[in-house]
């Protein structure tokens, strides 16, 4: 659950020296027990990272000092399969976040990442018995190396962008999910990420493979305590949705405001398949994240529900991309943003109907709520239509709180802050209703806390 939890008192097993170099990468790869092919993958990615420029089309990232981060922090000797075997302080942190309770009540499996590695993992036995795989990337490389090698870096190549290259060089932890043909995973799988040490980077890699006619729901959450120095989070997520399969991926991101959150997420969607992204961003200093769908198969469908809450000293640059390649493909982007206390919320989206995407349909609905005269909302849509038969709809609006609604709720006995909170929750409802109930309730609490701070 996305709560703010103080720094955990814990001594890590190993912390890499700060900075990036061939020798640091080699030692890191040795620590990970990488096979030769993976070390070569990492080495190529490091060279690519060094030759790539920072993106200049979004928020200003020039203050990032890559030499000031440690790129691998090993919290424990191995992944535990029982909470009793997890360091008590780490277990206490995840208990405060509600993970063990959620595992018992609503989840089919859990992975918890502390710093750079998974420290605890579980999967219901009935799922593993029918071939479902839910493990750390390290375990996947060791036990399912052929699958990892086949898919790794194929949707998001190492030269996609500077941060994808950095992740490809130093990725650690994250989840590998494999769902066999025809298998429906009824309950969600969840991975929770925690950064606990100042001036460190977290670079998890998530790889999901949903075979034909399968279905899976994956949820991730993340937090970090506040430090005076910055932290860097640069994840990569690659999802393969085979023909007639469905994947739902939900993110509740509540990083502290000292974190740069620079993430690349992309899915390839097959024939008659569905990819459903729900992406909620409340924390971090700067977020750049654009979950994307490549709708390669005929009759495929991609959906993105995006939520951004930008407060004081925050820039949330979010949105998504829908690339239509197959015939009769459909996509839908709904973006909701709230900016307050001088925060900046940007929507950045791309919809592309390629030449062979006959009868494709794309819809974009982008709406923003600005709470004061100091906050900012921007929209940067890009629409490309190379198809002779495609349809694209785009709708956007920016507004402030309705005085009429505030007055009405005031006549019903609600304070100004209470009335504003209810209006905001109503504005965000299209995204909130799509989030699993237990996470939606927690997100509502976070929004209420945000509004309490705003009106304090």
DSSP per-residue codes, 348-359: EEEEEE-TT-TT
Distances (CA, A) of 146 to 137, 245, 280: 13, 22, 33
Residues in the chain where the model's pLDDT stays below 50: 1-3
Name the burial class of residue 403, with classes exposed (0-12), middle (13-18) and buried (19+) by CB atoms within 10 angstroms of its CB: exposed
Give the list of residues 6+ apart from residue 168 with CB closer than 8 angstroms, or none.
41, 42, 45, 48, 49, 153, 158, 236
CA distance readout (Å), 65 to 45, 61, 437: 19, 9, 39
**CA pair distance 9, 88, nearest whole angstrom:** 10
CA distances from 93 to 19, 196, 400 (A): 28, 10, 38
pLDDT at position 12, please?
73
- What angle in degrees, to the nearest 10, is found between the helix axes of 36-51 and 162-170? 150
E-only strand ranges, 282-404: 286-289, 292-295, 301-310, 315-324, 330-339, 344-353, 361-370, 376-385, 391-399
Tokens 């940067």 correspond to 380
Q: What's residue 175's pLDDT? A: 96
Q: Identify the pLDDT of residue 225.
A: 65
Q: Around Cβ 211, how many Cβ atoms within 10 Å?
A: 19
In terms of pTM, does the model score above 0.85? Answer: yes
Parallel, antiparallel or unpaired: strands 175-179 and 133-136:
antiparallel
Pairing of strands 231-233, 246-254: unpaired
SS3 258: coil
């Amino acid at each position: 659950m996305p709560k703010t939890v103080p720094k955990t008192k814990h001594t890590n097993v190993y912390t890499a020296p700060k900075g990036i170099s061939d020798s640091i990468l080699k030692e890191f790869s040795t620590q990970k027990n990488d096979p030769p092919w993976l070390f070569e993958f990492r080495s190529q990615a490091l060279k690519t990272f060094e030759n790539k420029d920072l993106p200049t089309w979004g928020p200003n990232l020039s203050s990032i000092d890559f030499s000031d981060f440690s790129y691998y922090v090993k919290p424990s000797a191995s992944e535990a399969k029982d909470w009793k075997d997890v360091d008590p302080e780490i277990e206490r942190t995840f208990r405060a976040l509600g993970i063990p309770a959620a595992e018992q009540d609503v989840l089919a499996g859990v992975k918890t990442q502390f710093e750079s590695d998974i420290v605890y993992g579980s999967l219901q036995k009935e799922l593993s018995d029918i071939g479902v795989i839910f493990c750390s990337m390290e375990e996947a490389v060791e036990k399912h190396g052929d699958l990892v090698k086949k898919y790794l870096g194929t949707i998001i190549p190492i030269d996609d962008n500077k941060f994808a290259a950095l992740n490809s060089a130093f990725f650690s932890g994250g989840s590998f999910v494999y769902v066999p043909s025809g298998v429906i995973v009824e309950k969600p799988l969840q991975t929770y990420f925690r950064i606990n040490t100042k001036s460190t980077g977290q670079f998890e890699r998530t790889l999901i493979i949903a075979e034909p006619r399968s279905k899976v729901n994956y949820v991730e959450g993340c937090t970090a305590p506040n430090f005076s120095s910055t932290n860097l989070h640069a994840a990569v997520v690659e999802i393969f949705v085979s023909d007639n399969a469905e994947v739902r991926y939900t993110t509740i991101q509540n990083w502290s405001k000292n974190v740069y959150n620079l993430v690349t997420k992309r899915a390839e969607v097959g024939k008659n398949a569905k990819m459903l992204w729900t992406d909620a961003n409340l924390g971090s200093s700067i977020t750049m994240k654009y979950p994307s769908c490549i709708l390669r198969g005929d009759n495929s469908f991609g959906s993105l529900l995006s939520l951004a809450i930008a407060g004081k000293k925050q820039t949330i640059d979010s949105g998504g991309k829908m690339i239509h390649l197959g015939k009769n493909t459909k996509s839908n982007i709904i973006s909701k943003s709230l900016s307050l206390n001088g925060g900046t919320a940007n929507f950045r989206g791309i919809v592309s109907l390629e030449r062979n995407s006959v009868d494709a349909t794309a819809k974009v609905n982008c709406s923003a709520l600005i709470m004061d005269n100091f906050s900012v909302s921007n929209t940067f849509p890009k629409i490309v239509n190379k198809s002779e038969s495609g349809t694209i709809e785009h709708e956007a609006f920016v507004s402030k709180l309705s005085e009429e609604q505030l007055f009405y709720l005031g006549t019903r006995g609600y304070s100004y802050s209470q009335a504003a909170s209810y209006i905001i929750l109503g504005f965000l409802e299209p995204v909130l209703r799509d989030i699993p109930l237990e996470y939606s309730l927690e997100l509502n609490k976070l929004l209420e806390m945000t509004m309490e701070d705003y009106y304090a």
